Copies of this chain bind each other. A is one copy, B any other.
Amino acid sequence: MSLKRTVFFISDRTGITTEMLGHSLLAQFESVEFQQHTLPFIDSPEKAREVVKRIELAAREDGVRPLVFSTLIGPDIRDIVATGNALFIDLFSTFIDGLEAELGVPPSHAIGLSHRVGNAYSHRIEAINYTLNHDDGTTIKSLDQSDIIILGVSRSGKTPTCLYLALQFGIQAANYPLTPDDDGRIRFPAALLPYRHKLYGLTIAAERLREIRNERRPDSRYASLENCRDELRQVEELYRRENIRYLDTTSKSIEEISTTIMQEVRLSRRLF
């Protein structure tokens, strides 16, 4: 039994969905070392035959057949790839027959229907532009057009969260930093008063914040554990006092933070 395996994620489009589901399946087998390759845009018989060659080569070199995760839609191309010496895991066709039977209509077998172009593209770009223009409190202009305004101390995860909300869900996400005034106190920014209902706070463990800040400005007062603790204590008090929902981002991925926010404030995604 080999504990090292070659894995191919094969798609006629980007392969991103294939990879994502493949990763979560493989994550269940931690003791195996996977050598992973994504092969996107496999949309012709020629490319499919090249893939078969790569599969055969890996099987010979490893002395054990590779795993193939496929979301290939076209039956012809899929059939070619499936001839390779591999465990062929068909993330797509496995479910299509059941869906056809249930829905009573035949599948179109058309490729590339799931990505966002046209209007959805424009909408997404607008959301990204909005988010970039409202990053880190750059402007309070047109905050009324935001879907949400994320608050937090410096380096608590505001920017990546907002960008992910914009890219993945088409949400116009502004963010605004909570920073100490000259007297060291963090106050509720008056500019945000009219948008109270859109505010959402982030917090993070002081130790983690210190690590992150220390990478940016090593050994600074800004990055000191004492300062991190003080700022976080103040913003958490502020969130509670002002009745602002908030989330601890320590050990959460950007996906998890974003999805949690979407769910808690009942934001509807603007992209499908």
Contact A16 B255 (CB under 8 A): yes
Q: Cβ of A164: which chain B residues have Cβ within 8 Å of it?
A: 167
Q: Is the CB of B254 within 8 A of A167?
A: yes
Contacts of A256 in B (CB 8 A): 13-14, 115
The answer to whether A91 has its CB under 8 Å from any CB of chain B is yes
Which of chain B's residues has its CB closest to A259's CB?
B14
Partner of A113, one of B5, B28, B89: B28
Bound together, the chains give a CA A128 to CA B159 distance in angstroms of 9
Check: A142 CB closer than 8 A to any chain B CB: no
Chain A residues close to B by CB (< 8 Å): 1, 3, 5, 13-17, 20-21, 23-32, 36, 38, 40-41, 67, 71, 73, 87, 89, 91-92, 94-96, 98-100, 102-105, 107-110, 113-118, 121-122, 124-125, 128-129, 132, 135, 157, 159-160, 163-164, 167-168, 212, 215, 251-256, 258-260, 263, 269, 272
- A108 near B71 with CB under 8 A, answer no
Contact status A92-B122, CB under 8 Å: no
Name the B residues within 8 Å of A96 (CB-CB). Answer: 25, 28
Complex Cα spacing A113 to B16, Å:
18
Contacts A71-B24, A252-B117; A95 near B89 (Cβ below 8 A): yes
B29–A21 CB distance below 8 A: no
Q: In angstroms, how far is the closest chain B Cβ from the Cβ of A48? A: 16
Contact B167 A117, beta carbon cutoff 8 Å: no
In the complex the two chains form, what is the Cα distance from A234 to B229 in whole Å? Answer: 55
**A-B pairs with lowest CB-CB distance, top 3:** A27-B113, A28-B107, A115-B253
- The 26 listed contacts between A and B (C-beta, < 8 Å) are A1-B104, A3-B105, A14-B256, A14-B258, A14-B259, A16-B20, A16-B255, A21-B91, A24-B92, A25-B92, A28-B108, A31-B105, A32-B105, A36-B272, A40-B263, A87-B99, A87-B102, A89-B99, A91-B91, A117-B252, A122-B215, A124-B160, A125-B212, A128-B159, A128-B163, A132-B135
